Structure 1
């Protein structure tokens, strides 16, 4: 190991010049990212888009990590708003989040039983006891909707706990770890009864914090032509079938993760503590050009696209832009460019946020120039909830999309039948 000596420090100090001093003075008064934003360049991203989809409202996930759910439900909302002939509509995220937490707890306890004989130092047990959180992905959203249906937001509105999930997550994880420790100490014949006790306690906690989900409900609304409508005796399934009515199993979770352990043109399969017990995460790994072309095809067909990106990379929330080229950082930070593979493998970047893709601007050669995004951070974030994304950002920091099978080529459909690559959850770049 080489020691940082006084001589080496002096050599480094000699590299600082007058321009660096000026930049240092500026950085004393404002965040460097804010100082480096070229607003003229970023503003140009908010020009019109020649492929664009109408949307029916802006949602706010507030202090929760449910972006994956909000963006998935906002995708389905477009179908429902058209069928109900309304300007605005929102599903109950609280309803689906209740079952998401319950499914995660059930799956976590099963994993605790499965790993009870392994030492605490094993990767599986260390991973498990990190607990569960709000996050998830498209295929799990589709699984929840298929299993539990949907209800309008008015039927099961948000509570404080559903939109501020820190306490609920802490308490849920405390219960899981308590009973996880008991499972590890218990005889094999006692473990299922311990799980049942834990699930009862977690279910009760969720009912207190989020409210008990409805089984049947009535719903009345007035459409944009001022016509009154009323439905009685609906269930979450009958509402979904009548006002959404699509087969979510026909969507493929496409990714572009060019890592050394995730080969291209094959499905990457994993099962972790964010899953439903009966579901694996199944993701088709394609090249970025393929993912982009699929997104464009789906947008051209009038369908929005659920995507996953890195919301910590080159984002300005006030301007509503995602664009590395709008930041003049090299003068202060030097060369910080990295390949997509290096970003993932070093943990510098990951798909940590999900949004809804609503449009794209194509040049005369049908190549994308910029993208239109609906976020779930409310109307005060971005331009009334809308973000503009440069092509440079999209290629580097967009990692996943939910694509209907209709838009896959025959060759791409064939990849779904190939033997998948199975990864443990701690091997995934975004876990």
Structure 2
């Protein structure tokens, strides 16, 4: 197609005639269009032969518990973390199946996020309401999503409990309306705080007012999710049918006694290949977090090969890996396959898609959206060619709830892994002590996993 090089701000009739002529030069375009219109682009573009090239077999696998289900909620980051933490509990106590309460941590996350949001409002009282920062703060004060460091904050402050102690409720599994009402209340609270500031209330008065607002959120959360226990009795039978009972256990003591992993020894590695984020440096994101005074969200940006080797080493040591990715890109929920070659959109639509990983981040095409667990890897001559993924969408998708990720998909759409510091070089461990570069709230690395 050759058009006049002079700039034309509007689509002309001449353009449309040229577009149509170009389209109809290839008679197969109509056939392809028919297939897409009747069955959808994914069915038309699916590379069925490629499916057989990514089997659900792995040279190294970690035994894990039953597949979990986050249902209609964005708690994947909590599910993924608790799915990794239950493994040492099950091994040490010879328990075949076990779940840690996701609702318990959801309750505390919502309460802490409410306080975090209102504190951010108090820190930005002089910001214009129609400015970019206020628009960002008001967008989603208590969304379901989260990050690894936010999970660490909750566990270190509140501990954990078995799922049967604080089970699922209607709104833990279907969180949309709960979030909408909590957001309504918090936006109203933000308005009140800013108005009272303008009419002369001092910081102590505003702080007292904020505490009452958090109390309201606590009351709402108890209605939605139930009230978290301060103590409970832990009872179970092990694989040898021996009965065990532990009376008056606090959630913090339960974590220390039955899980005991030092979460401070784990670090978030990211792969963000953009010019503004040099490798080997640490980063944090302004106004991103949940617990005021807690551990800030902190990343160490590394080459993909470094990130991959650390994940592989941890799996070979029989320990799963929490990771964050852009799950909706080039993946199929039905087969559970995640691979860039799974759908040939270029050939099917007749147009090229050429953005690389860094460009996708910079132009809003990709970011971390979902957290899962790596529970296996297949090595070919010592190098990974596919990875086993434990999801939290129930047993229907994929292979009984498990997915398989090609190593090339890992390169393109995986952004974060959480590994023990011992898998890092001395140089990278040293970089963890550097002051982090502060990114703006809307940076793509500020995205949350749902």
Normalised to the residue count of structure 1, the TM-score between the two structures is: 0.97
Q: 2:255 aligns with which of 240, 246, 253?
A: 240
| Superposed displacement of residue 295, structure 1 | 0.4
Q: CA deviation at 1:9?
A: 1.2
* Residue 81 (structure 1) aligns with: 90
Q: Deviations 1:83-140 (Å, cap 9, x if unpaired)? A: 2211111100000110000110000000011111111122221111112200111111
Farther-moved stretch of structure 1 (273-282 vs 202-211) = 273-282
SS of the residue 2:22 aligns to: coil
**Is 1:363 aligned to residue 375 of structure 2?**
no
Whether the 8 Å CA contact 1:218–1:234 is kept in 2: the answer is yes
Mapping for residues 32-431 of structure 1, pairs under 5 Å: 32-132=41-141, 133-186=143-196, 187-189=200-202, 190-278=205-293, 279-333=295-349, 334-364=351-381, 366-431=382-447
User: 2 CA distance for matches of 1:105 and 1:68?
Assistant: 18
Describe the superposition over 1:334-365 as per-residue Cα deviations: whole angstroms up to 9, x where unpaired: 2213211001111111110000001111111x
Whole-Å separation in 1 of the counterparts to 2:149 and 2:378: 28
Conserved? CA contact 1:73–1:91, under 8 Å: yes
Compute the displacement of 1:430 (Å): 4.8
For the 8 Å contact 1:347–1:429, the answer to whether it is kept is no
Partners of 2:445 and 2:100 lie apart in 1 by 31
SS in 2 for 1:324: coil
Q: Which runs of 5+ in 2 are unaligned?
A: 1-7
Aligned to 2:3: none
Residues in 2 aligned to 1:302 and 1:396: alpha-carbon distance in whole angstroms: 25
For 2:208 and 2:165, locate their aligned partners in 1 and report how far apart those are by CA, in whole Å: 34
SS in 1 for 2:354: coil
Give the whole-Å Cα distance in 2 for the aligned partners of 1:268 and 1:14: 51
Please state whether the residue corresponding to 1:146 is helix, strand or coil.
helix
Runs of 4 or more consecutive aligned structure 1 residues displaced over 6 Å after TM superposition:
none
Q: Secondary structure at the match of 2:54?
A: helix
Unaligned runs of 5+ in 1: none
Tell which deviates more after alignment, 119-128 or 153-162.
Answer: 119-128
How far apart, in 2, do the equivalents of 1:97 and 1:137 lie? 13
Cα distance per residue 1:306-351 (max 9 Å; x no partner): 0001011011111011112122222223221321100111111111
Matched-pair contact (CA < 8 Å) for 1:350–1:430: no
Query: Contact (CA 8 Å) 2:361, 2:444: kept in 1 or not?
Result: no
Shift of 1:429: 4.4
Q: Is the 8 A contact 1:135 1:274 kept in 2?
A: no
TM-score, length basis structure 2: 0.93
Q: Could you say what secondary structure the match of 2:33 adopts?
A: helix
1:94 partner SS? helix
The answer (yes or no) to whether the contact 1:76–1:244 under 8 Å persists in 2 is: yes
Could you tell me how far apart the structure 2 residues matched to 1:385 and 1:313 are?
18
CA distance in 2, matches of 1:47, 1:94: 31
Any conservation in 2 of the 1:67–1:376 contact (CA below 8 Å)?
yes
Partner of 2:279, secondary structure, is coil
RMSD of aligned residue pairs (Cα, Å): 1.3
Q: How far, CA to CA, are the matches of 2:443 and 2:47 in structure 1?
A: 38
Cα distance in structure 1, aligned partners of 2:59 and 2:310: 17
> Equivalent residue of 1:219, what SS?
strand
| Structure 2 residue 17 is matched with structure 1 residue 10 | yes
The worse-fitting range, judged by mean Cα deviation, of 114-123 and 301-310 is 114-123
Cα separation, partners in 2 of 1:47 and 1:428, compared to 1, 3 Å: closer
Q: Distance in 2 between matches of 1:126 and 1:83?
A: 48
